[in-house]
Amino acid sequence: MPEGDSIHRLASRLRPRLVGGRVRSLEAHDIANAVAKTVVGREVVAVEARGKNLLVRFDDGRALHVHLRMLGRLGFERPRSAFWKPRTTSHQLRLDVGGAVVVGDRIPVLRLLRVGAEERAPDLRSLGPDLLATEVDVKECVARLRALGNRPIGEALLLQRALAGIGNIYKSETLFVTKVNPSAPVSTLDDATLETLVVRASELLRQNLGDGPRVTRPGLAGPRFWVYGRQGRVCLRCGGAVEMMRQGAPPGRSTYHCRGCQTLPSQ
């Protein structure tokens, strides 16, 4: 699943080619043709990322909402030429804005939000603070985490209603660099620890907004991640073994960690 940094990077790529342009056409399997046609001629006024959600805003107050989840793909259509043939002639989404064509497939959430609908949509209204916002409300994030009580912190960090933008990679990496055990109940962690988790997660996400592969470790040598995807390999900090466990409702989400570095509060 794309994490918050991926969606913000996607918004940054779309923004200069879409904002200020007018819609030539909109075709989407999930949007009725009659409704899609009402967007033609509208100006794109903003392309925003909110956590893992992408919003293309039009000058009439409506917005195209996209959430890619696990398998969704979105990008610019490549120019046709004698040397390149498209894999498919039909996409789930095709948005032409002034000649810049955005196409997407396998998108689980794709809808055109009416004016005012964004504030009423449960999945958007309930989002916690975006960790890539210009200013992150750390206190609000801590309060939302605290409300989760005895839920393991490894599960809590993935709940977008607490804080928006974290996925499996940043969950595992943030917990490792802060030496917090993913099984620790939120209720056993003090506010200072929760604040550190929020700030560190925001920093890790923010440092990956540029071009290039995602990296959470400093330096150029060795693995790009401390623990993510490194089950059974040597911990880069203590020399122990990196482990993987499942957290959350079956089949659960993978959490990578090191028992030696990330002890429970009672230990």
Instruction: Tell me whether residue 114 is one of the annotated catalytic residues.
Output: no
Contacts of 169 (CB under 8 A, 6+ apart): 3, 214, 216, 225, 228
Q: Point out the catalytic residue in the list 13, 24, 161, 253.
A: 253
**Residue 142: in which H helix or E strand, if any?**
helix 138-146
Would you call 2 a catalytic residue per the annotation? yes
Catalytic site residue from 2, 129, 152, 182? 2
The answer to whether 174 touches 131, Cβ cutoff 8 Å, is no
Cβ neighbors of 19 (< 8 A, separation 6 or more) are: 44, 45, 46, 47
- Give strand ranges (E) for the chain: 23-28, 44-50, 53-58, 63-67, 73-76, 93-97, 100-105, 109-113, 243-247, 253-257
Residue 191 CA to residue 139 CA, distance in Å, equals: 9
Active-site entry in 50, 52, 62, 144: 52
Is residue 85 among the annotated active site residues?
Answer: no
Cis amide leading into 251 (omega within 30): yes
CA–CA distances in Å: residue 191 to residues 153, 157, 165, 175, 195? 13, 15, 20, 15, 6
The residue annotated as part of the active site, out of 3, 118, 155, 173, is 3
Residues involved in catalysis: 2-3, 52, 253
